Structure 1
Amino acid sequence: MRHVLTNADEATVRKITENATTPGVWLKTFVSPEMLTPWLAPGWSVAGGPGFLMSAPLRASHAEVPDGYRLRTWGRADVIRTLVRTADGAFAARGQTAVTGSTAVVDQVETDPAHQRRGLGRLVMGTLANAAAGQGATVGVLGATPEGRALYETVGWHVLAPLTSATRGPGPVEA
């Protein structure tokens, strides 16, 4: 189960985290980790460090596939995926987006560390933006890590709010 709170407050977070005792339950909210942590019930912890909700207008752009790489883009069940592989077929980068009306939600953008700083993140983001715009989306949103934020800001995205995740751990709650 996953709870996403667009307007988090201490009472709501406490109620959810005290009642959700099953391991693996997630809570995502638009407050800083420092604010969320004291609101969590025992057995819960902040997961993954700080994050950011980001957004950008989607515009058609052209990005060249760097020499030595192949780009494949396809859709399945309202999700557009793009994958970059090396000439010999090894994974280099990927990402996906789902278009929901005028908004596209970008997710799972990743570049293999051995292939960073070669324009592949920019290629993936541009390819996803073009595909989403082609389906009528005018704005994109995503959740970013601090490392991802640096890439997204270079391609025109901006931070809307902090994004923090917490999860219920597998151990028993200690009184």
Structure 2
Amino acid sequence: MDGVVRAWVDGWVVSRGAAPPEREPWGFTVDVGLVAQVSRHVFDALGDRVDEGVVRKVAGGVTGAGVWLKVFQDPAVVGGWLGEGWWVDPEPGYLMTVPLTGARADVLDGYRKRVWSVGGVTRVLVAAPDGSLAARGQVAPTGATAVFDRIETAPAHRRRGLGGTVMRTLQTAAATAGARTGVLAGTPAGRALYESLGWHVEAPLTSAKFVGPGVA
């Protein structure tokens, strides 16, 4: 999908309330404003098109803790490009897409589903019979694409179809808003759910954080 990285960045910024992305020759810089994630550098090349020299140069210019890199290549590859002070998540993420259509989203007996929209972000909460969190997620449509974010099912409520309920509810909300393609960055644990709902992997994703020399 052309422009998938830009679509993910734009939607993620809306979903998380981050600063508008700044265009760089190699991708985008996003200021987040959190201690654990001050900013992030997102490279717009995918897979084998990722330039090792460019990643090394950008990483080498980082000196402050809390700066992240998002590189669409496997961590086993990217980890060897980064110097001292970088922590690399050993598990790959996955940049994924899906054509959006409306979908039925039932809820199991005893569970309660709430859907609301604020600031361009639609959120779904599925509460357990005792009122605790069972599952949640949110989506940020930005025109023709929509970014799905913070998809979570509580451990005690997994394998009951609640993740699918959240995803289908968000998918319908995004399609209703006019989006035609869904985009997300998934974890290994979430990949099976997303693929069962028709999502396709576009590229692996490495997440790396600068923690400072002598710490990583």
Name the TM tier (shorter chain).
over 0.9
Percent of aligned positions with the same letter in both sequences?
A: 55
SS at match of 1:164: strand
Matched, 1:157 2:199: yes
* 2:213 alignment partner in structure 1: 172
CA RMSD in angstroms comes to 1.3
The CA deviation at 1:48 is 5.6
Structure 1: gaps of 5 or more residues: none
Matched residues in 2 for 1:10 and 1:73: separation?
Answer: 43
After superposition, residues 139-158 of structure 1 pair within 5 angstroms as: 139-158=181-200
The CA deviation at 1:172 is 2.9
The CA deviation at 1:89 is 1.1
SS at match of 2:91: strand
The CA deviation at 1:173 is 4.9
Matched residues in 1 for 2:151 and 2:90: separation?
Answer: 16
After superposition, residues 1-175 of structure 1 pair within 5 angstroms as: 1-7=39-45, 8-47=50-89, 49-169=91-211, 171-173=212-214
Residues 75, 90 of structure 2: 8 Å contact kept: no
Instruction: Considering Cα pairs closer than 8 Å and 6+ residues apart, tell me whether 1 or 2 has the greater RCO.
Output: 1
Report runs of 4+ in structure 1 exceeding 4 Å deviation.
Answer: none
Residues 57-83 of structure 1, C-alpha deviation per residue, up to 9 Å, x if partnerless? 111111211111000111111111111
Q: TM-score, normalised by structure 2?
A: 0.77
The CA deviation at 1:45 is 2.1
Matched residues in 2 for 1:35 and 1:6: separation?
Answer: 17
Letter paired with 1:3: H
Letter paired with 1:151: L
Structure (1/2) with the larger strand percentage: 1
Q: TM-score, normalised by structure 1?
A: 0.95
